[in-house]
Amino acid sequence: MKLFKKLAAGASALALAATMAASGLAPAMTVTAADDCNDDWLHAEGSKLYDKNGNQVWLTGANWFGLNCTENFPHGLWSADVDVLLSSVADHGINVIRFPISTELLLSWKNGKPYSATGLNPKNGDGFSFNPDFCHADGSEMNSMEIFDVIMQKCKKYGIKAFVDVHSPASHNSGHNYELWYYEPASKTADDMATIKEEQGDAGAQVTWDDWIESITWLAEKYAGDDTLIAYDLKNEPHGKRGYSGDKAPVDMAKWDDSTDKNNWKYSAEECAKSIMKVNPNALILIEGIEQYPKTEKGYTFDTPDVWEPKTEEDKKWHGAWWGGNLRGVKEHPVDLGNAAWNKQIVYSPHDYGPSVYNQTWFDKEFTTDTLLDDYWRDTWAYINEKDIAPLLIGEWGGHMDGGKNEKWMKLLRDYMIDNHINHTFWCLNPNSGDTGGLLDYSFTTWDDEKYALMEESLWQTSKSGKYIGLDHQHPLGVNGTGLSLTEYYSTYDKSEGSNINGGKGAGKSNPVEIETKPATEPKTEPTKATEPATKATEPTKATDATKATDATKATDATKATEPTVTASKYGDLNGDKEVNILDVICMNKLLLGVSKLEGELQANADVDASGKIDSDDSLNLLKYVLEIVKELPVKK
């Protein structure tokens, strides 16, 4: 990572975080972002993705989980301000976020009974503010659907694109362990991981195959007029093994063949994708792989039993893979939506991990890029890119920085993705992923510099100036000047210096396309009453009303200081407790933001530089005094 980018990103995050930590007040910002003409939809030509102008693009991002869990919101927002977090993510060059979500939560939205967010606790009243844009004008907390809508608007504001992945049927913190995308009674974990868990919902009800399709289609229709949410990952890590007995494939195993069985992932993905395409033909459809695929080259099928501890290669009847990582079936049974235009929206999305997650057989040697390709990558998923069949997006990769084999694997995969223009989303931003860790620490504001430096090279960026390239034509990526909009890049930087796309070999061109635009409308299946709160939350006028503290005129009016009519009793003591500490810094920031007032000697105490006015210099000097950087008050100029 280039030093100036690190310093710029760090300074930006530190300034925002310091304001929040010192004052207890999140930066009050308007929820909505300006309409960008709905012009950022993408499509595929061969193995590459292009914008509407025929310019090649590269999705390089990270995962942020929590909507799939019982808290019903992205984790970390219990302590981090959403603007601080997302602006920092954008300033660090991440141009897309993958949001895991559950079918159960989507159903609550679709059915007009959105679940509440558990443990978020935003505040906007009584002189205190934290994540205020997650509150209604009356100070009440938004529900999970409204919070998601706000987050999408924040992503738009910072030039970040987003997509959801259906991580599990139920809202469950371990729901990814379930094999399928619907309730299957043969599965030992179906009652735990594929039934409604929340008492707010229809607790105990089974999440059906139809529920899965209808709920994600509902979301696609809701966001058909908003190109912030550009893609839908239909199901996280379909998996399951054949087993060693019987003459039929088990019904709780995800398979990939030409049948119309519901556990045939290829068939189910096609049906779900076609449902989405009918309401939003511009969205990308991400389709993951499965776990096991039979050695069809030897005549084996999904009905062929596996062999326990095969002694030779000839004894093996199956090709193994990571959960969701096996896309061998595409060679024989490619996904076909029955429509040439719809097929251009297909992106295959395997997951790949290193030995710190599980020591697979391809790590049992001094592995290199070539051995990984020969032993696993090429026949499992890399051929799809090599043969120009469709784009790839590695939906999850990452792991612990062990200084050894896992770190070596991460660097090899990173470099392979750079050289071959493979899209990807790193797992993950969250620090609370047990088998991988995250890019952020438990405050969700401080970055793991070592891990980020490894991942950063795989972010789309210009070749000389190192500016990160976003996927939005209007909004640049981030706020600190290290990011570009897609228009800025292709109008200037592409010709002057290029980027690291295709390993720095340059981006190809395709023919421009017409985007079928439609205004954002609520889907017909959503009850009107359920949509009203979300609409109100994102209306510009309402958002402005809720954040009046940020109005420049009002803030100035609130902080106009006149000559004190009384003498200061103790400079810096703004709460009258006869002491000067961090509580007084909080009072100072509330005063400057216009959410509280001081009178008499307390107002005089706030003028800590005795200048006759109270302004940001007083706030800074008071903080310096509390930190013992300056030794006495009033500060002498």
CA distance 98 to 232: 9
Q: Are 194 and 247 in contact (CB under 8 A)?
A: no
Token pair 């808290």 is at which residue? 71
Q: What count of Cα atoms within 13 Å lies in the side-chain half-sphere of residue 412? A: 20
Angle, vertex CA 224, rays to CA 219 and CA 230, nearest 5: 85
Helix (H, G, I), strand (E, B) or coil at 316: coil
Separation CA 253–CA 180 (nearest Å): 7
Catalytic residues: 237, 396
Whether the bond between 634 and the residue before it is cis, its omega within 30 degrees of 0, is yes
Strand 56-57 relative to strand 48-50: parallel, antiparallel, unpaired?
Answer: antiparallel
159 forms beta bridges with: none
Beta strands in 8-68 (DSSP E): 43-45, 48-50, 56-57, 60-63
CA distances from 621 to 17, 197, 593, 595, 633 (A): 18, 52, 17, 20, 9
CB contact at 8 A, 416 and 369? yes
Tokens of 578: 């006869």
First to last CA, the chain: 40
Instruction: For residue 127, give Cα distances in angstroms to 130, 141, 586.
Output: 10, 16, 11
